[in-house]
Structure formats: C-alpha cells, structure tokens
A = this chain, B = another copy of it.
Amino acid sequence: MINASIIGANGYTGLELLKILSLHKYVNFKHIVSKSNAGTKICDMYPQLQMYKGKNFDDLNLGEIAKESDIVFAALPNGVSAGICEELIKLNGNLKIIDLSADFRYNDVNVYEKTYSVTHSCPELLKTAVYGLPEIYFDKIKNAKIIGNPGCYTTCSILSLYPILKEKLVNPDTIIIDAKSGVSGAGKKAETDYSFCEVNENFCAYGVTTHRHTSEIEQELSLAAGKKLNLCFTPHLLPIQRGILATIYCDLQKDVNAQKIVSAYQKYYKGKPFVFVNDIGVMPQIKEVKNTNNLKIGCQIDYRLNKLIIVGVIDNLIKGASGQAVQNMNIMFNIPQTEGLNFISNYI
C-alpha cells in the first residue's frame, strides 16, 4: 500500500484526486490538507464523497506529512507550491512528490520566472524534477522524485502534436493552437466572471497572445522538433463544466500524406493505454473523453492549402490534471498505469 497525502484538497483538482484515489486499490490516505478548511468535514463540502464520512480536512503539518507519506500530491497555487515541496523534501529525502502547479514544469528557470512573474524558491530542486507526461517521459518518471505535472491545455496540445513534430511532417514555425476549455479549468473561483449568469450561453477568447501555457507548450514541442519554435496559442472559455478541445493548424512538409501522419501517431502511441488516434477525417468530441483519463486525436488534411488540421480532446481535470497525476504515481510505484483510471466517458 502507498501512503498518500494531498495538500490543497479543496479545489477541483483536489476533489478529483479524492475521487480517483478513493477507488484506487493500492492507496492509503494519510493527510488530506486544506488550510482554509482545516477541521471541517470533507462531506460537508463534498456530500457525494460518502466514503470520507467521519474524516475532516487536515491542517498543514509538514513534519507529519513528510514522515507518514510515501507520496504527496501538491495542488497549490503557482509560486507557493515550490517552497512547500522543498521543505517536504528536506524533511524526508525519500518522499515522492507530484506537483500540480507550474513550479516544476520548466527546464529553464528563467522562462518559468518570466512567465509567472515570481522568483523560484528552489531552482536546484527544479533541475531534478521530471515533466510528468507519461506518453513521452515514462522512463524518467519511473525514477523521479519530483514530478511537474503538466497543465491541461499543454497536455492536450503537446500530445496532439508530438509525433508529427518528431517525424518532421510539418513546418514547426507554422503552428496555431486554437484551444477551448470548460470552466473548471479556471479552478474553483468565487468570482462574478465565472458565475453561471456570466458564463452560460456565452463564449469568448481570453489571454490572446499572453496565456502562460504557451511557454510550456513551446518548451516541449521545441524538444520534439529538435529546434526552438514559437507558436500561436489562443484559449477560449466554453460554457461547459469540463473538457478541452484544441484545434491545431500547421503547414505540411512536402510530400506528406495521410499515411505518414497515421504512421507517426502509431509509432509513438501504439500500446499507450490512454491515447486513441482516430482514422483520418474522424474528429473526436469532448463528450468522448469527459470524465476519463483519455486523449483522443483526429486529423484532416487540407490539400488545397497543404495544411494539417488536428483536433485533440481531453478532460481537463483528469488527463489534464489529477488523472495524469495518478498515472504518474502508478508509474513511480511500478503499478499498471491504468490502475484506478479505468473510466468510461459519460457521453450523455
């Protein structure tokens, strides 16, 4: 059994972790921390979590957490998480950490600091962290101490493009990602902007040219392409609770046809339990992956324009956050990747 703790259990990613891990065969909860709700019953906030009946949210006691846990899931704000993870590691050098913030996702601390306008509290630790995309970094994750769990837009964007760039099938300088996310992507927020009346029956772009996930996507896709690339990323807010769909445009290299596209995806994703690549021309929909850890990818070639159009879909809270975190934990503890993650989408 794995002794696990969650810090920041009251947000939406924390809630998903509570749900997923409560059905996980090999997990034993130690600390379920929410500083702002310490002492209140978990079931008062989440009446659907009957299996936590009698349990309260814990206060943040780093010493106890470090001592009693094999793994800690940190679901904390960007810039706050690094410091807490650093302390935990100091207290227990054997502890494994999966950090759901942006604090351990970057190879270059300068890019992180510029993107998030904070000073990183432990750049040395950052160097030891592994970017938690199992479909790309499986072997590194296996032996990692600290996982920087990827962002939701980034998971969807990177995995949709990775094989195509690795195989140099498109011009890496022509990538446009038009991404649309459900509202839970913004977290559990007491803000008018995310109130039902303001979001429902609406749709909008936001953060145009400035969204922070851009640099994270560029880091990984530059590695895939073997050269530094810049891309255009535009997020939008969908009036749905969960799910991301990214429509991606790029220029095909000469003589690339559908077969080469399909082969590239097969080469990298064959046997990957959570990635599904459709036949050419069949585009996936958000409802096919909602409430699952799956990514589905569809492609179409625009022969008039010699462009490739890719559509990728994930559930932002699962494959885009907590499900991927559990997938990473499974890998770190030599458990089948799919343990606890065998979900079927609620299509309706």
Contacts and interface: CB of A to CB of B under 8 A. Distances in A.
10 contacts: A19-B344, A47-B288, A190-B190, A190-B195, A194-B196, A200-B200, A203-B245, A204-B286, A230-B305, A238-B238
B348 A241 contact: yes
A188 interface: yes
Nearest to A20: B344
Nearest to A184: B197
Interface string A286-321: 111111100010001110110101010000010000
Contacts of A236: 180, 245, 247
A50 B23 CA distance: 21
A172 interface: no
B190 A192 contact: yes
Contact of A232 (B46, B284, B288, B305): B305
A36 interface: no
A209 B300 contact: yes
A344 B288 CA distance: 19
Copies of this protein in the assembly total 4
B197 A12 contact: yes
A241 B192 contact: no
Given A208-B309, A283-B204, A15 B348 contact: yes
Interface string A1-26: 00000000000100100010011000
A239 interface: yes
B48 A283 contact: no
Given A245-B205, A249-B232, A49 B197 contact: no
A15 B196 contact: no
B241 A239 contact: no
A209 B311 CA distance: 13
A189 B195 contact: yes
B48 A347 contact: yes
B48 A204 contact: no
A191 interface: yes
